[in-house]
Structure formats: structure tokens, C-alpha cells
Amino acid sequence: MNIEGRVDRGFRLLIGSAALLIILQGINQAQSILASILIAVFFAILGTPPVLWLQRKRVPTFVAVIMVMLGMFVVLVGLGVFVGAAINNFITELPAYQDRLQIQITEFQAWLAGKGIRGVDKVLLGIANPAALMGLTGNLLARLWSALSDIILILFIVAMILLEVSGFPGKLRAVLGDPLQVFPQFTRFLGEMESYVVIHTIFSLLTGLLVGIWLLIIDVDFPILWAFLAFLLNYVPNVGSMIAAVPASIVALITYGIEGFLLTGSGFIVINVFLGNFVEVMVTGKKLGLSNLVVFLSLVFWGNLLGPVGMVLCIPLTMTLKFACENNPDTLWIAVFLGPEVIPEQDNLLDPKNIIPAAD
């Protein structure tokens, strides 16, 4: 490559990087409205299968969309009544829990001092301060509920998407000027995305239901709230289940002592290991097509960019980014790095035909 070509390529890379930074800053500034739009898209993906099913039963599109929207409205209102009240009660009781927890921490420090152990308690509290974790939990719940509270706007966007979903392929064919185009890659991507969202939502609901039942059995305060948190954070990869277990376990510790803490934590572990690492993997039969490092980094990236909604939707957003990169020769290398480990069959690593996912 000659010097002029290198300079031109470097200049284009610089301009592209600057444009990307500007776009990311704009996304961060428009976080609230984008969060509502992303939630609406998520609900639209969930609503698409029942709308298409009703259409196959010869129900008019408008009527099918209205029926699905009414179902979503009932579910969201039900969540608003029960979960919203639980969040408000928890935030109201939070200072009392923090005070009781501080007393237990002081007693624990005195017990360690009586055993001649000094300094360890400060190290432990520096790593994980239970009082601070409870405060962060209240803040997280408030921010998530704020994102979900604009129900009318979200449902309106969902309705518009569902009304357009059946006619979108025809519009795309008209734009491309090919009435017979079938878009196999795009169709496969939409199918994978829909499958992931629907199946993962079902298992998240099961996780929340089982957590709620277990907490009711051992009589932990606010079981509905912790069940909702377990459902919601089940979308957050790798760390979501652990985060969901923390506040409920601390409340059990405050109320019943170490026995309640262990019972609560073990219940979360058993439920998440059984459903997440065994049943869901067995049902889906495949993984996400993303490397483990990318899954974790996507959680950090989208969480910082879009807040709690970005953390919950980080996997669908990264899957969309990977699909976009796969279908552009200039960005195919990005898709390769986002994907799992590959085994090169030939010398050309960036040819999709020569990339074979490594065996699990």
C-alpha cells in the first residue's frame, strides 16, 4: 500500500472514530427516550408471535394488535399495582433496614474483636458494604420503575411496530426493487432474536415465580419485589442472578440471622443453576454466538450508555450489532471478534465460509 493510501485510510478511520464518539455521546444524552423505545421494541418482539398467530387464524391485523395490546396493558397494570406498591414500601422501610443492619455489623465487629481478629471486618466491609448494597438496590429499583412507568408511550410505540411488522418485508422488497427477494440472513437473524427473547422471557418468569414461592415459604419480607427483581435481572448475563440474590438475602439476614441468609441464598442458587444452566440450555440447544468476554463487556458498555435498561437488553443489542457487522465486508472482522472461538479451516480467516465455531 502506498503512502497516500495509508494516509487516506488513517484519515477515514479518524473521522469514523470521531463520528462514533459523537453518536455515543448523543445516545447517552438521549438515554431516557431511547430507554422507552428499546423497552417498546422488546415488548414488540414478545407481541409479534401472538399477532402473527391471530393473523393465521384470519383475525384482521388491527383487531389482532388490539387484542395483544390489551393483554400487555393488563399485565403492566397488574405489575404496577403489586410491584409498584412493593417498591414504594421497600424504599420507605429502607432506612430502618439500614439501621438494623448497622447494629448487626457493629455486633459482628465486636464478636471478631473478642476472638482477637482485627482488621478483617474492615476489609470485608470495604469489599461489600451491605448497607451500601441496600441503598444501591433501592436506587436501581427506582430507576427501572421510572423507565417502565411511561406505559402509555411505550404501548403506543409497541402498537405502531406491531401494525407494521407484517408489511415490513414488502416495503423492503419495494425499496430494493426485487419483489421476489426473501432476505434469508435477515429472516434467520429475526428468528434467532425472537427465539432468544421469548424463550429467555419464559425462563425468567419461571425463575421469578419459583423465587417468589420459595421466599413466601421461608417468610422473607417483600417476596413479590424480590421475585420481580429475579425475573428482571435474569436478563443480565453472568452477574444478574447474583445481584438479584443480594438484597433478598440481606433482608433475610436482618430478619432471621445467618440461617435466613443461608436459606435465601441457597434457594436462589439452586433455582438459577437448575433453570439457567440446565433446563434452558437443554431447551434452546445452543448458545448465543457471542464470546464470554464480549457478553461481559457488552453488559458494562450498554449499562454505562443506557443505564439499567441497557444492562437488561445488552444481549439483544449486541446480537444486533454483530448481525450488522456480519453483513458488511468492511466490518466482518468486528463480527468475528464478537463471536465465539473459531477454528480456521483455511488461510482466509475473514471469509464466513471458512470459520467454524469451536466445539463446546
Residue 130 and residue 42 share a domain: yes
Mean pLDDT of 94-123: 69
pTM score, whole prediction: 0.72
Residue 264 and residue 347 share a domain: no
Checking if the pLDDT of 175 tops 60, the result is no
Checking if the pLDDT of 303 tops 90, the result is no
Where a domain ends, among 166, 199, 219? 166
Which range has highest mean pLDDT (157-171, 194-208, 333-347)? 194-208
- What residues make up the domain containing 225? 186-286
Residue 301 and residue 272 share a domain: no
- The answer to whether residue 339 is domain-embedded is yes
How many domains does the chain fold into?
3
How much is the pLDDT for 10? Answer: 62
- The answer to whether residue 39 is domain-embedded is yes
Mean pLDDT of 78-85: 76
Listed range (17-21, 104-108, 115-119, 294-298) with the worst mean pLDDT: 115-119
Residue 150 and residue 37 share a domain: yes
Model confidence over 261-276: pLDDT tens digits?
A: 899 999 998 888 888 7
Residue 149 and residue 81 share a domain: yes
The mean predicted confidence, pLDDT, of the chain is 74
More confident call, 241 vs 346: 241
Checking if the pLDDT of 251 tops 50, the result is yes
Residue 322 and residue 251 share a domain: no
Model confidence over 135-156: pLDDT tens digits?
A: 666 666 666 666 566 777 788 8
Checking if the pLDDT of 205 tops 50, the result is yes
Q: What is the 3-state secondary structure (H, E, C) of the chain?
A: CCHHHHHHHHHHHHHHHHHHHHHHHHHHHCHHHHHHHHHHHHHHHHHHHHHHHHHHCCCCHHHHHHHHHHHHHHHHHHHHHHHHHHHHHHHHHHHHHHHHHHHHHHHHHHHHHHCCCCCHHHHHHHHCCHHHHHHHHHHHHHHHHHHHHCHHHHHHHHHHHHHHHCCHHHHHHHHHCCCCCCCHHHHHHHHHHHHHHHHHHHHHHHHHHHHHHHHHHCCCCCHHHHHHHHHHHCCCCCCHHHHHHHHHHHHHHHHHCHHHHHHHHHHHHHHHHHHHHHHHHHHHCCCCCCCHHHHHHHHHHHHHHHCHHHHHCHHHHHHHHHHHHHCCHHHHHHHHHHCCCEEECCCCCCCHHHEEECCC
